[in-house]
Amino acid sequence: MSYIVDFNHVSTVGLESSPVIEALAGLRANEARYFMNKYKHEFTVVQASDSQETLDYVNRILKEERDIEFAAKPLETSQFQVENIKFAYVFYEDGLGVNVMYTVDDPKKRAVGFKLSEGMEVPKELEEKFKFARQKSKLAGTIRGSFFVIKREY
C-alpha cells in the first residue's frame, strides 16, 4: 500500500521499528517538501516488502559502483520520474536514506546520495569511504549527507 508523505504534518507511519523514528520521519518529510516545491510532485512511499524491484535496482547500483551492501533493514522505498530524471529512494531502519538520481539523457548527471538521520551513527559500510556535509532542516534537524557519481549505465 502506498503512502503520500505529508511534510506539513510529519508522520511516523511505516517507520515504527526505527530507533530514530522521529528524525527518519523528518528526513522523509524533508524529501517530500523538496519534490513538491521543486517539481510539484507528491512524494509517495511503499513498504520495502512490496517493492523488490526498487530495492534490487538500488542494491545493484551500490554493489556494482562501490561494492556497498547495507546490513540495515529497508523499511520503505519510492521510485518515480520527474522531467528527465528517474529517482529511487530507500529508507532504512537505522535512519539512513539512500537515493539514486539518474538523468535519462545526460550521463554526467547521475549520482547516489546518502542522508543520515539525526542521532544515527555513520553506517559501517560508509565509514572512512565518504565525508559527510551537514545540512539544517526544520523538519529533520541536522542531516548529514554525501554522494558519489554513477559511472555505468543502469
The secondary structure of 4-68, three-state, reads ECCCCCCCCCCCCCCCCHHHHHHHHHHHHHHHHHHHCCCCEEEEHHHCHHHHHHHHHHHHHHHCC
Cβ-contact 93, 72 below 8 angstroms: yes
Q: How far apart are CA 149 and CA 138, in angstroms?
A: 28
For the stretch 13-65, pLDDT in tens is: 999 999 999 999 999 999 999 999 999 999 999 999 999 999 999 999 999 99
Specify the 3-state DSSP secondary structure of 134: strand
Question: What is the total count of domains within the chain?
Answer: 1
For the stretch 75-108, pLDDT in tens is: 999 999 999 999 999 999 999 999 999 999 998 9
Q: What are the Cα distances from residue 129, in Å, to 66, 71, 108, 146?
A: 10, 16, 22, 10
Where is pLDDT greater, at 130 or 107? 130
> Is 72 inside any structural domain?
yes
For the stretch 134-143, pLDDT in tens is: 999 999 999 9
Query: Is the overall model pTM greater than 0.95, yes or no?
Result: yes
> Is 154 inside any structural domain?
no
C-alpha cell belonging to residue 27 = 528526513
> Is 135 inside any structural domain?
yes
Domain that includes residue 130, residue range: 2-149
